[in-house]
Every structure is written in C-alpha cells, then in structure tokens.
Chain A
Amino acid sequence: MKSFKLDWLVLPLIGAGIVLLLWQISSATWAKELPSPLKTWETSKPYIVEPFAKRGEMDQGILRFTWYSLILVAKGYALALLIGTPLGFFLGLSKTFTKIFDPIIQVLRPVSPLAWLPLGLVLFMGAGKNASELGALFTIAICAMWPTVLNTAVGVRAIPQDYLNVAKVLKLSRTKTLFKVLIPAALPYMFTGFRLSLGIAWLVIVAAEMLTGRPGVGGFLWQEYNSLIYEHIILCIITIGVVGFVLDRLMSLAESKFKTA
C-alpha cells in the first residue's frame, strides 16, 4: 500500500476504530453486562478529567493510582536490577557458577507472580502493615529479574576475544577491566534485558495489587469488579496498557542511546 500524508496517525486510528466497533457490537449483542464504549467514557469521566483527585483511599483519580503503582514498580524494578545484573555477570564470567546456578534459575524462571506473592507475604509477615508492600516488592523483583540475568550473561559471554586481549595486554586491573571493557561491551545486551524486565515488573504490579488490595491501578480494578462498576475495569485495562506502552518506548529510547557499533 502506498503511504500518504498522516498515515502514521490515520492507520492506527482505523485499527482503534475497528476494536471500538467490535466492543460496541459485543456489548449490544452477546455480552449484555459489558458496558458500551460511550457508557464507559461517561462513568470514567470524573477519574480522567480530575486525574489527581483524592476522594477516598480507593476512590482517586486514575493518574494518582497510576503514580502509586509506578512508585512500587520503580522500587521493585530497582531491586531486580541490583540483584539481576551482578548475577548475570557471574553467570557470564564463570562456567562453574553457571553449572551451579543455571538449573535452579531455569526452574524458578517460569513461576507465575501469582505463585510468588503468597510466599512474599509469608516471608514478611513480621513486618506488620508493611507486609503487603514488602511482599509485592519481593514478587516484582523475583519475577522481573530473569530477563536481566539471562541477557547480561549472554552479553558477557558474547564479548569479543579482541576486547579481552586488549585488557590482557594492557594488564588492566579487575575493576578497570570490568568498568572499561566488560560493562560497556555487554551494555547493549543488558539494556535489552532491562527493557524486558520493566515490562514484566509492570505486569506483576497489577497482579500484586489485586491480591494485596493496595491502592493503585490493579487494586482499583479489583475493587471496582467487586463493586460491580465494570466501566472502571475497562478504564484500568486501558490505563495499564498505555502506561506499559509508554514505559517500553522510554526504555527503547534509552537503549538506542547505548547501542555501540
């Protein structure tokens, strides 16, 4: 198809229009409980036009909820990177380390966040009212770190022998080799891992909030399901999607900055 002016705007809008139409038809025919697009907009309006309003613990503007979720994600994600990156380096540098820990990593990796969360809550039961936050952080960190771990390990293994030879000939110290050669060489891979990890962290936060009932997009979604306000479920889904998309875009921007020849 020939591209025309504004095709970057018009074509995606056509896609969105088709989905809206299907939604409208579904709510009018076989899914009577599904609110129509128009009804969703009307019911959600106060949450969108006053995005930062705080009317109660579980009745706040959608961006305010998003902000709570983002803060929690940022903490959990930072934790995941802090643990995941060094772990990835050890895996990439040492064959013995890989042999010891790779099997256990492969077993833990596919475990769902929904399975980790109860364990997290149990672990931090002693923390009193912080238990739900610490449990959620634990879950985000342990679910989100795997792409960082594995990509960093691959990146370190893929460092060309030439670069390592340079470090050897120059007799660079261990720290210097790490910061001047290993990290810059592995950085493109690490960033791919970081981006995937952020995506997972954002997936996990919704599940964690739903189960713990913390204020946030996920917590709001679950509460509105229980109060039978289905319009807000859709509002939350759209918000989660848009935020996830924006985060991914920001990360790929950062990633392209660090891509080296």
Chain B
Amino acid sequence: MAFLELKNVSKGFGANGSRAEVLRDINLQIEKGEFVAIVGFSGAGKTTLISLIAGLLKADSGNLTLNDLEITAPGPDRGIVFQNYSLLPWLSVFENIFLAVEAVNPNWSPQKKKEHVEKYIAIVNLTPARDKKPGELSGGMRQRVSVARALAMNPQILLLDEPLSALDALTRATLQDEISRIWSEDKKTVVMITNDPDEGILLADRIIPLSAGPGATLGHAIQIDIPRPRDRKAINHEPRFKEIRREIIEYLLNSKGEHHATLTKKLILPDIEPEDLSLPRHALGGRTKPIRRREVKEIEVSA
C-alpha cells in the first residue's frame, strides 16, 4: 500500500439544493520520499484537495490514508505551508517556529527546543531575521519562515499549497531552488500544489494535472525522468521538459473546454409587447397604455 493514498475522494460545498461539487473521484498514490506536484487552474479545487489531505476538511466520500492510518483530523504529522504564509503576526520568526516545535515535542528540554528552532531558521537562511516580526519581512522571507515551521515539526509528509504563487518571479526562482535543495537533503515526502507547470516539472518526481472545476479530477500522472540536479536555465532546452510541459498544458486546456457549454443564461425580457410603429397611430381613442406581455392571451395575427 502506498504511503499516502486517496481513494475515490469527492468533496462538495453548499446545501443539497445548490451544492457545487468541487472534487470528484480523486485517486492518488504517493510513495515515501516522493515529490509530487499537482498542477491546475486557480479555483479548480487545489486548495480543497490539500485541505483534505491536511485533515482541515472532511471528504464527502472516499478514503484518505497516510501510512495506513485514516486521515480524520489535522495533525503535526502533516506539515503544511499555506499560500498566505499563515504566520502569527504578533510572534517573531523564532517564536512562530518555536510554537510549532513546542507543540510537537513538549517533552524536549528548553535548550533542545531552542537549538532545533535555530537549526531550521539557519536551513532557510533567516538567522539574521530571527527576532523580526512577520510584518517586517518580505513575502519571500515570510514564506521561508512558513517552510521552516513546517519542516521543524518533522512531519511525515510536507504539504505545500501554492507556496510560491504570491511571490514575484525572481523571489520565486530563488525559493524554488531552495525547496529543491532542502528536499534533496532530507528526502521528505512532498505534495506540492501549484498553478505553474514549469515549477512542478522543475521540482517534482511526478506531476499530475487537476482538471478544471467544477467536479475536478486528477489526470494521468507524468513521471519526470529528467535527472537531478536540474538546472533552471538548462532545463528550458531539454526536449523532455518541453514534451511534459506540452502534455500537461494540453490536458489542462482540454479539460477547461469541456465545461464551456454548461453555462446557460436565462434572458429576462421586459414586460412589454413591442409596438408596430409602421401602423398609423390613432390620435384619439387609441391605446394610452402599453400592452403587457403577461396580458397577451394569444398573438393576434392580422392577415
């Protein structure tokens, strides 16, 4: 059995009448130590999918298991890096990570907790900013804190929910390299959600497209057999890179096309019958009121 396994998972929101299905029949198997990227449109349900794995949401049907144990609630065995960082603004970098370390390892000595926190601050290169509040940091630095916090919990699996999509292109590239470096150092199982196919191909072992919603489902996975370490400049010329990228984008665009016809619009007409202006109008004794559409019993056809 796979390390993380999702079987026929579906999830929708809203009450019975106006229920919108977000995810339909999601099947996913991830092996230990694997880096999997799931790529899809914004609004396709990517965040819903990661929230299900995190246990922040409950699936309507299907099973989710991690290490053969069913996922029912959130827990520190699944470290999450949220898109919007989710740092507590009243705590410094150190305190934010310390809170997580303390929650996961309450029995450690204070000295050990402190060293552990310092170690992870160093891994994401933030030691000079350890006493700063999140408000004083740039977006990229905040996301590093968030990554350090997730890693410091020493989770069995790391869930990255569009971790880089709020950042500018340059910061994004730097952080991609950093994530790649950190991952190659301790080979954690990673599920990364992204809206950027290039990012997925650059970082992951396997990339899976998520079709456009509503009722999004996973397409077939593509093994990224480009050898590591992958160089971001060289990879652009790699034929295999282009091939995977084309395949992913084609799948995503086709999935979007299928849903175009589902939108129907009801045209509401004004409640007035059009008047034939070519007919002579009666100056006196003629109609003063417009004919209401709802008053017309049958259409009078003049020969």
Residues of A whose CB lies within 8 Å of any CB of B are: 162-163, 165-166, 168-172, 176, 180-181, 184-185, 187, 260-261
Contact = CB atoms under 8 A, between A and B. Distances in A.
A155 to B, nearest CB: 13
B86 A261 contact: no
Interface in B229-257: none
Nearest to A169: B74
B133 interface: yes
A180 B103 CA distance: 11
A27 to B, nearest CB: 54
Interface in B65-86: 73-76, 78-80, 82, 84, 86
B82 A171 contact: no
Q: Looking at chain B's contact residues, is the secondary structure mostly helix, strand, loop, or mixed?
A: loop
A261 B133 contact: yes
Nearest to A172: B103
B56 A260 contact: no
Contacts of B91: 184
Contacts, number: 52
A163 B91 CA distance: 12
B90 A171 contact: no
Contacts of B129: none
Contacts of B103: 170-172, 176
Contacts of B43: none
A261 B135 contact: yes
A177 to B, nearest CB: 10
Contacts of A166: 86, 88
B224 interface: no
Interface string B181-212: 00000000000000000000000000000000
A165 B74 contact: yes
Contacts of B78: 169
B99 interface: yes
A172 B73 CA distance: 13
Contacts of B104: 170
Interface in B98-146: 99-100, 103-104, 133-135
A163 B90 contact: no
Contact of A163 (B54, B75, B88): B88
A261 B90 CA distance: 7
B76 A170 contact: yes
A257 B67 CA distance: 47
Given A163-B88, A260-B135, 14 more contacts: A162-B82, A163-B86, A165-B56, A165-B74, A165-B82, A165-B86, A169-B56, A170-B100, A171-B74, A171-B76, A172-B103, A184-B91, A260-B90, A261-B133
Nearest to A258: B90
B74 A184 contact: no
Contact of B90 (A165, A176, A184): A184
Contacts of B99: 170, 172, 180
Nearest to B75: A171
Contacts of B84: 162
A222 to B, nearest CB: 46
B62 interface: no
Contacts of B74: 165, 168-169, 171
A194 B114 CA distance: 36
Contacts of B82: 162, 165
Nearest to A183: B90
A44 to B, nearest CB: 47
Contact of A169 (B80, B89, B134, B135): B80
A171, A172, A187: residue with the most chain B Cβ atoms closer than 10 Å: A171
B99 to A, nearest CB: 6
Nearest to B83: A162
A220 to B, nearest CB: 44
A19 to B, nearest CB: 43
A176 B103 CA distance: 9
